[in-house]
Chain A
């Protein structure tokens, strides 16, 4: 009995303290929330250099160009590419620019009902191919570097298999290619439900509905605990600003064209055609053995959306002998935004690309307008033909990870 009384006393005392703390926090929080907050995303300056329908190409120019081959970043159709430039100090784009790498990034825009018939083929062999050609012409280069994120990574894999002559190096990050796994809930749901029907029912697959699906992957944390965390820290201005930025990014979710969504769910999630080299885009088979350029494959050990099992088979399935798997100890988004990964991810990519540039020198004769470039495609740049380049195989066997902190998957 006496023991019980002591516990109750302690609990009541703690409750009083907590109430007092909450009162102080609420006062401070109101000051923070009512003051001007810096919650802007994507603040690194860029220029829109290409437009086609809803699709735009952003160009980020470094102060000093140190690498010959620019990098084209292809984001997923789900959420937006602003995640790579979330905030100063946590910007993958800024890291690339600091290393002298020219960055192009596709902004897929906001599909409307007009886009409901747009297929994966239209994205890969249409928009992406046009953009790659535009950059090649602008830089007078036969090849460029390509980096894909999540679904955008799957698009990059398809593109590299179909247009291998245009890609110098391929980087895939949290990219699902093997869908025959029940590790991720998304894989289970896509396989066992008719989710693809919703795209057609709504015209396109609504971004809000997809976001609801993502929240339901872990309701306790994403719907409840996250906001408890916000409540506990809302008197901290930095925390609030970062939190709001992330909220802005998470819920800025464009719809996915119905035809693309349907095809991605049925051909990839249900039939798992991509990793088997059986996927067809407009009658052309996506043969992964055609991916002969160097390949760097990143994924997250704790990724609940695209688990390691969905990513790690790619390097074995491609034709390239210069491949590397890097499994970071983080989740799906952590790769791009966590402070620790910021120190590993960007620098590793820059280094990896630099190692594969060979003795190539930065061309000083870059044209700023694609139209300035000859359409004939027979102009020679640095001894390479604009129309055809044999991909260089730098290393004959799988390379080792550069940093001991990076866990090699295989």
Chain B
């Protein structure tokens, strides 16, 4: 018998001992709790006795399960199953950590680019890698956990909550990218202003009026914004944000309807149905009035 086999035998024996004492302990506890009640026919029908029976039955099932588990061959397979749990956790953590490192790498790359070189009035190939990386990682690594099929009575509610979390994450990512787009012209204008001031300084034409610099800066900024806002890149980011917002709002409303259903107040969904009926009715009435007027004439 090698060392590993010895260790296993010890664990199995310990586990068998523990399961036996646990079964005995819970059996005795039940006996103590319910043992004092009388066993007459009348008492057998009362609810207390029914509960006692239910507990006894439960204890027997538990005992049987524990006894089965304590058999060496079953225990071994159970322990193997438990072995896979840490593996699963490690795998998850590893994936998350890799994703985090990937994101950090992209962020570091972007940070290194800041101030390196910014070409005025050009917005092709804007560095949106960080946002794209985050979205990719989220969609590949995290989103799948929210899409795990839900089971049981509450499955639809759970699904709606999972969708809310998912759409919120996507919306936040899109909004961050959208806001970042508005920062780019400020960065570019700053760089252009630096160049302009350097040129003025070289020529010895530095203005003593701050308003002159402000006017120069605001004109440059306006130009940059105009170029950005007309670009297909901006339209794409704007469209992504709009779609993400719409989906997030839809998911949020679905969850809210679930909650509000429990309260005695009409939801927007209820009211919309009512408004639609009213709208159709009004149209029908005015059409009928018009026909009536025509027939009178």
* Interface set of A (CB-CB < 8 Å, partner B): 3-4, 7, 10-11, 13-15, 18, 113-114, 116-118, 122, 126, 185, 188-189, 192-195, 197-198, 200-203, 216-221, 224-225, 228, 375-377
Contacts and interface: CB of A to CB of B under 8 A. Distances in A.
Contacts of A13: 208
Q: Is the interface of B mostly helix, strand, loop or mixed?
A: helix
Contacts of A195: 242
Given A192-B239, A194-B242, A201-B249, A113 B206 contact: no
Contact of B268 (A15, A113, A225): A113
A190 to B, nearest CB: 10
Given A185-B230, A193-B238, A198-B245, 6 more contacts: A4-B201, A189-B238, A192-B235, A201-B245, A220-B221, A220-B225
Nearest to B280: A117
Interface of B: 182, 185, 201, 204, 206, 208-210, 214, 218, 221-222, 225-226, 229-230, 232, 235, 238-239, 242-243, 245-246, 249-250, 268, 271-272, 275-276, 278-279, 283, 286, 293, 296-297
A18 B222 contact: no
Chain A interface helix/strand/loop/mixed: helix
B206 A7 contact: yes
A13 B208 CA distance: 8
Given A194-B239, A217-B229, A224 B218 contact: yes
A198 B242 contact: yes
Contacts of B286: 126
Given A198-B246, A377-B297, A7 B208 contact: yes
A220 B222 contact: yes
B210 A193 contact: no
Nearest to B275: A114
B239 A11 contact: no
B229 A116 contact: no
29 contacts: A7-B208, A11-B208, A13-B208, A14-B208, A113-B268, A116-B272, A117-B276, A188-B235, A189-B235, A189-B238, A192-B232, A192-B235, A192-B239, A193-B239, A194-B239, A195-B242, A197-B246, A201-B250, A217-B229, A218-B225, A218-B226, A219-B225, A220-B185, A220-B222, A220-B225, A224-B218, A225-B218, A375-B297, A377-B297
Contacts of A375: 293, 296-297
A228 B268 contact: no
Most chain A CB neighbours (cut-off 10 Å) among B210, B238, B250: B238
A228 B297 CA distance: 64
Of A10, A117, A185, A375, the most chain B CB neighbours within 10 A belong to A117
B208 A10 contact: yes
Contacts of B226: 218
A113 B266 CA distance: 14
B275 A117 contact: yes
A15 B210 contact: yes
A188 B230 contact: yes
A185 B242 contact: no
Interface centre among A3, A113, A200, A220 (most CB of B within 10 A): A220
A193 B235 contact: yes
Contacts of A114: 275, 278
Q: 4 closest pairs, A vs B, by CB?
A: A10-B208, A220-B222, A193-B239, A7-B206
